[in-house]
Structure 1
């Protein structure tokens, strides 16, 4: 049961840091003010209200008793004195009877109840009160033997302005503190949000440059640490790229000499088959070196920019068709996304080449699908995936071996280097997405590529 209660409270709490921080500041203040209001309302206001109501009720009872005892010719004198000395307006309705009851109109305050209790104790006759007829006065009717006495008592005699001042102080202090808290936390959260955006963008290959440290000292420290980390990673990637470029040149130079030497060798019927085999081995070595270098380089130098995913798919499919593959494409007119086009082109090429090497038919489809988890790698608040499916009718990969096919140098199919799927997943995950292997409706393997929209 306590776990269920805590879980319910967690679901009710706001998710953002700013809302939670403001809530932490405001809730204790509101609780404190509620306690203060209760003490004032139940203590001070109650005592003052009873005393004011008792004073008005005593004056009404005194006037009623005078009218009951004094002859009719003295009533005008009583009315003048009551208006001058007691601030009460009087009128007498001879031979009238109080019928019905007036509906109360200020039940939120204790004034009516206190006045009725005080009148009941002092007047000792039938009476009623009217709080609705006059916004500035309370009409009190008292049943006397000769008729009904109408008393008009100003509300200021029953009401204290202290309540107004107290409520204004409560509301004003709450609004002032809320405004200060919101402004302060907005500045603090803005620095954290900028750090989160810069970290997410840098992780997705979009280098926004160093961020300006601001906010609290801990946030400034985190921003400075991020800037240092970004600089070290950028320097490492640059050094690795330069080193790999040199290695690529050093490896391709002897291969070029070997290819040239094979070309210049004398050919005959006896050596033609051996030379063809050597040439094929050379080409395979070049493909493997290119794959290894691409995997090690990780496409880390390319910057993200707006690109049309559908155009990239169409381009890669057209290249595969020129190589003799049967590739079908079903896609919308356009789907612009922030991408690293060369890296995504390499990823799609690896998937389509992997499919066409082991199948006769390849079908590619591009669409958008809803995201079940909006707080995934693409970032909170995104609700769609851009999905690219590559289906083939080949032998496929057993379900137990599909995840292992993504490991570098592990091939789930024969005649592969084991780097195509590893490179493809590395590229997609750098964009905040993922690649899944599933059973294809065509009978072979389906590679499902997901990119955040």
Structure 2
């Protein structure tokens, strides 16, 4: 029996998709997130311990002290109602308890004052109200909004209203400011230091990635300077060594291919001269053999071009639209019906001769199998998530020929694979090799004209 599918995996995937969309894609952003997230958790725990423990206890004690002093004053006023005693109590309270008192005989408290919302993160107002309820046990009201330096407390006595002004400093301690400054300041300082450090590390990785991409597109980048962490320096040194080995390999292969080209073409030239010197009466046989020799020369040139890969040419800025228009003009001179649509000049860093060979091979294939050819040049945004910006330049070649079945289109790019007589089977292979050397690719699709569409994609 097959095991039942677990419902946990789809749930994890469904929850993970939004998280992946929120997470930064770059190494710098993810590294800073790895540093910042534990830092925020640590500071949150510290804040909770201080706010939920120490701060709450201190706030209740300070509020209880103020409420106890007011309760003592109320008790003394009840036991000594004389005017002289009341004045003495007010003086002693102002001197010993830092409370400003006033009495309004025969008055009654009005509606309670509105809460001020002063420092809503602190429990001062609630703690003071609870302490007054416990220690005064008379109707009271607190006003936090009228005076920025004091809290006005009104207590309803039997013969009037007692007004008390308690300094806010008795309910609030200055170390709270220092705690918040330390909490926020240390977090910002650590984050800035981490950001500067990680930025330097990521810069070295970005330079290495840019150099590798440029080298893969056939551009001369030279040796890069190893910098950053030891692992990044090792990667840069390995990249420089790889560049040297690849250049030596290409140089040696080019020299070997040049010798092979010379050795193969020399006997073919002798055969051509020998055929030209045949006696009269053998013109038909000589013409057939001369055609065979020419076909052998074309095949050798195609094989050498495929093996060489046009790798010795350096990329330089060139107008792709003008290059394609020239190739289309040559195809018209050979009898093809070719139309070209272009948005205008498109300057790209390309190897012009190699790109001419790439597009020329596509036009030759289309001309060999179709009557009508349409070439279009366009631009489209990049969909590659590893690149933050840029676009693609698309060169589309459509024809009205028989096309290639969808199951055989990828097979057509393999060397020495030909779907028609008279071809070497290297045209599409060379074209894709050149496109990929530029950092792009070639894809075969169905054409709106009824035949085959070859789409060349080049990075810009």
The reply to whether TM is greater than 0.5 is: yes
Name 2:443's counterpart in structure 1: 436
Return the alpha-carbon distance in structure 2 between the equivalents of residues 131 and 430 of structure 1.
74
Query: What is the match of residue 4 of structure 2?
Result: none
Task: Determine whether 1:26 maps to 2:36.
Answer: yes
2:225 is aligned to 212
Cα distance in 2 between the residues matched to 1:155 and 1:262:
116
CA spacing shift, 1:369–1:23, aligned 2, 3 Å:
closer
CA distance 1:194–1:165, shift in 2 (3 Å)? same
CA contact (8 A) 1:405 1:421 kept: yes
What displacement does 1:70 show?
2.3
C-alpha separation in 2, matches of 1:250 and 1:324? 35
1:306 aligns with 2:317: yes
Query: Does residue 101 of the first structure (1) align with residue 108 of the second (2)?
Result: no
Structure 1 residue 408 and structure 2 residue 399: aligned? no
Counterpart-to-counterpart distance in 2, 1:355 and 1:431: 23
1:388 equivalenced with 2:382 (yes/no) = no
Over 3 Å counting, the alpha-carbon distance change for 1:265 and 1:382 in structure 2 is: farther
Give the unaligned 5+ runs of structure 1. none
2:336 aligns to what SS in structure 1?
coil
Aligned to 2:211: 198
Is 1:321 the counterpart of 2:308? The answer is no
Taking the TM superposition and a 5 Å limit, the aligned residue runs for 1:78-117 are 78-104=89-115, 105-106=117-118, 107-117=120-130
Measured in 1, the distance between the counterparts of 2:194 and 2:364 equals 58
1:128 matches 2:135:
no
**Residue pair 1:374, 1:383 contacting (<8 A) in 2 also:** no
Deviation at 1:260, TM superposition (A): 2.8
2-structure distance, mates of 1:366, 1:412: 27
Which residue of the partner structure matches residue 142 of structure 1?
A: 155
| 1:311, distance to aligned residue in structure 2 (A) | 0.9
How far apart are the structure 1 equivalents of 2:453 and 2:18? 41
The unaligned stretches of length 5 or more in structure 2 are: 1-10
TM-score, length of structure 2 as denominator length = 0.93
Residue 152 of structure 1 aligns with which residue?
A: 165
1:397 aligns with 2:404: yes
- State the alpha-carbon separation in 1 of the partners of residues 30 and 37 from structure 2: 10
Aligned match of 2:50: 40
Of stretches 135-144 and 92-101 in structure 1, the one that deviates more from structure 2 is 92-101
Instruction: Say yes or no: does 1:231 pair with 2:244.
Output: yes
TM-score normalized by structure 1? 0.94
Q: What is the match of residue 274 of structure 1?
A: 285
Aligned 8 A contact 1:129 1:140 in 2:
yes
Deviation at 1:181, TM superposition (A): 0.9
User: Which structure 2 residues correspond to residues 288-367 of structure 1 after superposition, within 5 A?
Assistant: 288-367=299-378
Shift of 1:450: 1.4
**How many residues are matched?**
447
* Offset of residue 383 of structure 1: 5.5
The DSSP-based 3-state class of the residue aligned with 1:327 is strand
Aligned to 2:277, which of 254, 264, 282?
264
Deviations along 1:231-251, whole A, 9 cap, x unmatched?
A: 101110111112112222222
Whether contact under 8 Å (1:401, 1:412) holds in the other structure is: no
Q: What's the secondary structure of 1:14's corresponding residue?
A: coil
Whole-angstrom CA distance in 2 between matches of 1:413 and 1:88: 107
Contact 1:402 1:412 in 2 (8 A): no
User: 1:370·1:383 contact (CA, 8 Å) conserved in 2?
Assistant: yes
Give 1:7 shift: 4.0
Q: Map Cα deviations across residues 193-235 of structure 1 (whole Å, 9 max, x no partner).
A: 1111111111111121111111111111111111111110111
**Partner in structure 2 of residue 72 of structure 1:** 83
Counterpart Cα distance in 1 of 2:301 and 2:365 = 16
Change (3 A) 1:4 1:332: closer
2:458 aligns to what?
451
User: What does 1:235-254 correspond to in 2, within 5 Å?
Assistant: 235-254=248-267
